[in-house]
Structure 1
């Protein structure tokens, strides 16, 4: 930090009033030891300005827990006009810990408010930023010491402790949140940044820099994985890039966009740690727009081999503008599998709440669109929900459904189609289970499914009569969850209790099939709205079924169907029974949406997947 020592010496001669350093204000813990106090003769070099204040760099502390940067908060034009970037200044103010009263799960931000007695000591000073990956290295495994439990930040119960209530001493060499907190207000450089997702609606985007990371996939993103200790790794080494402080605009990025060095100040906003760049980052590379189609194709002459696809088609109705693209994905990227597990099929009137519950026009329109592109004519089957009872977009009555190729498969005859509230039971005899309804809903009156999609079970057979069973699921969404970098630890994973009960209900149904036939061939697939790393949720199913990604030996870092915040993650899963795992199993994720060339070109927030199994 050039010329800083000389101006600090000058500042000490200006007044006999006691002085306070930036390091003393920040302290080694989450909150300032001087919060609520008025401090004088605080000295530092202005590193950046915004419409809500300016940042100063004080003398560097030898303690890595203590930041040497600080936000001076003011929206007063008379205050902001007094200083320029590069000015060495002295000022007084009140130390404050700010958090919006409406956001109790945010962390506090240490600020110097009500700035006064601002004196310019010198100008045109420079501050050398902390180069991340060279001067300091972000931890790559855990967010917080308070994420206790075998599942780390995914452990249940959630919200069992609070960072700000504990106000512990920071451990920046071990925990990601502590690391970013130890740099609060400081000027840093992210070298050779890589974007981890599309920008949000404000143009902000997540990145990692040229430093060691975990979970890196082929596209350049960071996938949620298990660490070597078995604790889920949510990639705390990533950071959000906010709006440039000079008023320029961030570039458009996608998963894997390469960028030049990004220099800016570290802060906490809207539930996350940010680097606010001094100016807009520069794009240096763009990932390929080529999206590979699945290699797992259907063979109509091989009656023992079945291909299946899974796709959340995001609120599909007959007039949806994205319906033709969904059809194109099924034809050109999924290669018209023998059976499709579909989620988020809306009724024929879409989001209009007019009492309509039938989705026959929605599904028929999709089938026709597929046929026009491929000459493959699917049959479909589904069960209408009770109006307004299954959650999702109001009026849409979303549900799960199957498309299937009748030349390859048919529903096992002899059982009626179930109604909205008919419970499907496993009948038959040992070695030959039979469903009471086909298709039928699984325990639809169980309170676990209140305001949520009910699973759709079905029994299928090929032309030789060889049978297998499917359950198409769409569990409760994560709405209401808190930030992974928020105050609540472990973060609120809402509603984890509902999803746990839903999985347990599905597992009970699967067990009843396996009781009749331990080698029954079963696929449970769909949108689980939960990471497989949240073992407490999946335990009832994973104790009797196998994650098909594991069975097919898909590399762990390539197991993702969704990108949110800093993580490539998997909400869509397929689990299979031992009767299928005994034979060859293949599975691929098809990244038609997470690899989309722009957010506008994406037609669903989920990627589809394709599997290939042998039933005989």
Structure 2
């Protein structure tokens, strides 16, 4: 999550709203020192009296004006006047000159204090009024003679605009609140309501957004001439800016995109006159909670360079594996002109991005190496950070999600799945063509895997708050939906036993009825009513409420009833309630694995005393009448072992089908939380969670081996969400007993028997990958196996996992 602390509104958007002032002529008995006030589009935009005070950033007080009309206004003969705001007092005057262009700003500097660390940007008028930081009144007057009014109505009539703040007795309706040594009061972009308390908000002071089109002076931020540094000097040839932490002045660029909402509001600028170094980016993000600029504006921006790291909860800059984004913070902007052509977007072809996603640096930080655009996709995107790029006819390889993300590929022929995704097929081999797309305006294209953005999708390159490069698209191609059909399993015949696994994603009684209905349809229609379903992520009866409840009978009653309503069998179930808060997952949810089974087709063999605490007592294998049997069925495999700390314990059970025994071991291995980001700094990333999964795999492998020691022809099915890939050390350990995969395998991972372009059960960050598995012992005959794609590829998901089903003949 973005961790910038926003200071509230910082600048009203100029030239957008139409001024709503209806200015009257003087009434009898009113002020006689000023002439009748003409209607005008010029208003007070910002008032700051804390300059030079304790804690202040700026050394001077100031008043800022803006022109909200569509024509320039001459300010010759005008003045800004200050009243201390009480029932008594006199008006002090600062005269103005020059003109104010439409959409422009005019900065009036006032008295300097002894505090503050930063001078005001170039002002267009200067006075010596010592304004109060907390209470006072500013009048914009079409005259230079001091006002003599002493009541709000008379002063409003005598002024072009009147702004009272704090406890001021003189204001429009009510004074603006929140002014202090560190906060100014700033006008919103709404039409003037003649109520200062409604029209103004307090925020960090932002002086100097003057439009250079007015002949009253140059732009804020240090004048109207470019400073010594260009964007490519700030970005440099290193991942961390050579100017990091430094204040830079009047950096030129064209505004190419605006992010108006969210926790990282601001805008991108790009230099239309690039250098010849391919490693130096010409784009830069300006972090501003109220941008106050428009796409196509030519600007000069001053501010502090900051390499910002998107942080997750509990992360620090030191421990995050995310890459940094070079930004310009606390900006002061001068708008030189409007409506400029944007720098051309770089069109990305299938050969533009390097074929390798990340270099192997032995786990070290890529930010300690020079940017080398031809070395890897990570280098390539870093060298374009903030710059406009374009992908034509981009195919979606990851569906739109609740965070406004979707993924496309720039390399359509790279590792394509048979349904249009991009597959992950080896460790540290992320397909380099895959790139995230977000929309700059926050709109949701609603794409699923295989859909195509026809035409151009273009925008500046950014780095996601969740980690990974993204195109912040200001132009999105027209979506051509492929309407990917859901997969439907082939039903089992009378002699076939169908065993399925399905992660139902934190299923709780409080979930909408629609989720239960869709899950039931998936079981009945798409999985074709399997005889046994191992279900993962079933929560307790109170869901994520951490109240000590561990029973899940209400959750399972709702699920099985929904299956009956969808035309399915009345499934029975077996499960073991976990010890409260000991099995990981969503806090308070107490997720567990559960067997659903159709008692009309298959029977469950219950073994062990009902008085045994099965949550902590392990099951084991014994010989019974010459055949293997479980001492506890259902039972857990070694629940006290440290490999199951904060993780689900495997559920082992005996079934009988056509009077033949079948052992099923349902699993939900430890998740990948805590692993370093594959799109991040450390390459190749450390997978700290892999150690625990390998240990879990060894426990299950050895348990299967104990069954086989009694009967080498035993039918054993190991299945579930194993949270790891088919090529991972954990799966090698599960099959063979060692992470290298050497030795005789006692289990076959069925996902690896499919054609390569069908080997996936999950889509994460645009990667079609395997997390869910069904494995069988060599004795299992008549194997027919399918992955049932109904969730992971779709923007409208019931769960984030796809189920799968095995048909076998015991």
Name the TM-score, length of structure 1 as normaliser: 0.82
Match of 2:283 in 1: 69
Match of 1:233 in 2: 429
1:590 aligns with 2:793: no
Query: Which entry has the higher C-alpha Rg, 1 or 2?
Result: 2
Contact 2:297 2:336 in 1 (8 A): no
Q: Which structure 1 segments of 5+ residues have no match? A: 1-13, 149-159
Match of 2:357 in 1: 142
Q: Show the 5 A alignment for 1:260-339.
A: 260=454, 261-270=456-465, 271-279=467-475, 281-288=476-483, 290-295=485-490, 297-300=491-494, 302=495, 305-317=496-508, 320=511, 321=513, 322-339=515-532
Deviations 1:287-337 (A, max 9, x none): 215313112x1222x2xx321111112333456422232222111111111
Over 3 Å counting, the alpha-carbon distance change for 1:319 and 1:40 in structure 2 is closer
1:52 aligns with 2:266: yes
Contact 2:226 2:300 in 1 (8 A): no
Contact 2:268 2:460 in 1 (8 A): no
1:85 aligns with 2:288: no
CA RMSD of aligned residues (A): 3.3
Deviations 1:553-586 (A, max 9, x none): 3222322222222222221111122222xx3422
Question: Take 2:334 and 2:271, find their aligned partners in 1: how far apart are those partners?
Answer: 15
| Partner SS state of residue 242, structure 1 | strand
| Partner SS state of residue 459, structure 1 | strand
Match of 1:496 in 2: 690
Deviation at 1:412, TM superposition (A): 4.5
Match of 2:364 in 1: 161
Aligned partner of 2:778 among 553, 573, 578: 578
Question: Take 1:523 and 1:171, find their aligned partners in 2: how far apart are those partners?
Answer: 48
Over 3 Å counting, the alpha-carbon distance change for 1:232 and 1:123 in structure 2 is closer
More helix by share: 1
Moved more, 214-223 or 488-497: 488-497
1:383 aligns with 2:576: yes
Over 3 Å counting, the alpha-carbon distance change for 1:73 and 1:366 in structure 2 is closer
Match of 1:558 in 2: 758
Contact 1:26 1:32 in 2 (8 A): yes
| Partner SS state of residue 579, structure 1 | coil
Over 3 Å counting, the alpha-carbon distance change for 1:451 and 1:248 in structure 2 is closer
Question: Take 1:117 and 1:225, find their aligned partners in 2: how far apart are those partners?
Answer: 48
Deviation at 1:116, TM superposition (A): 6.6
Match of 2:111 in 1: none
Q: Which structure 2 segments of 5+ residues have no match? A: 1-222, 260-264, 737-744
Contact 2:254 2:340 in 1 (8 A): no
Over 3 Å counting, the alpha-carbon distance change for 1:359 and 1:20 in structure 2 is closer
Question: Take 2:354 and 2:725, find their aligned partners in 1: how far apart are those partners?
Answer: 22
Q: Show the 5 A alignment for 1:26-425.
A: 26-37=235-246, 43-50=252-259, 52-74=266-288, 80-81=292-293, 85=296, 87=298, 95-99=305-309, 103-104=316-317, 105=320, 106-112=322-328, 120=336, 124-133=340-349, 137-146=352-361, 148=362, 160-164=363-367, 166=368, 168-209=369-410, 211-226=411-426, 231-244=427-440, 247=441, 249-260=443-454, 261-270=456-465, 271-279=467-475, 281-288=476-483, 290-295=485-490, 297-300=491-494, 302=495, 305-317=496-508, 320=511, 321=513, 322-353=515-546, 355-374=548-567, 376-412=569-605, 419-425=614-620
| Partner SS state of residue 179, structure 1 | helix
Question: Take 1:569 and 1:58, find their aligned partners in 2: how far apart are those partners?
Answer: 41
Deviation at 1:48, TM superposition (A): 3.4
Contact 1:53 1:75 in 2 (8 A): no
Match of 1:152 in 2: none
Question: Take 1:394 and 1:123, find their aligned partners in 2: how far apart are those partners?
Answer: 52
Question: Take 1:37 and 1:55, find their aligned partners in 2: how far apart are those partners?
Answer: 18
Higher RCO, 1 vs 2 (CA within 8 Å, ≥6 residues apart): 1
Over 3 Å counting, the alpha-carbon distance change for 1:19 and 1:458 in structure 2 is same
| Partner SS state of residue 524, structure 1 | strand
Contact 1:140 1:214 in 2 (8 A): no
Deviations 1:268-304 (A, max 9, x none): 241221211224x243311215313112x1222x2xx
Deviations 1:155-174 (A, max 9, x none): xxxxx43233x2x1223323
Name the TM-score, length of structure 2 as normaliser: 0.63
Over 3 Å counting, the alpha-carbon distance change for 1:171 and 1:584 in structure 2 is farther
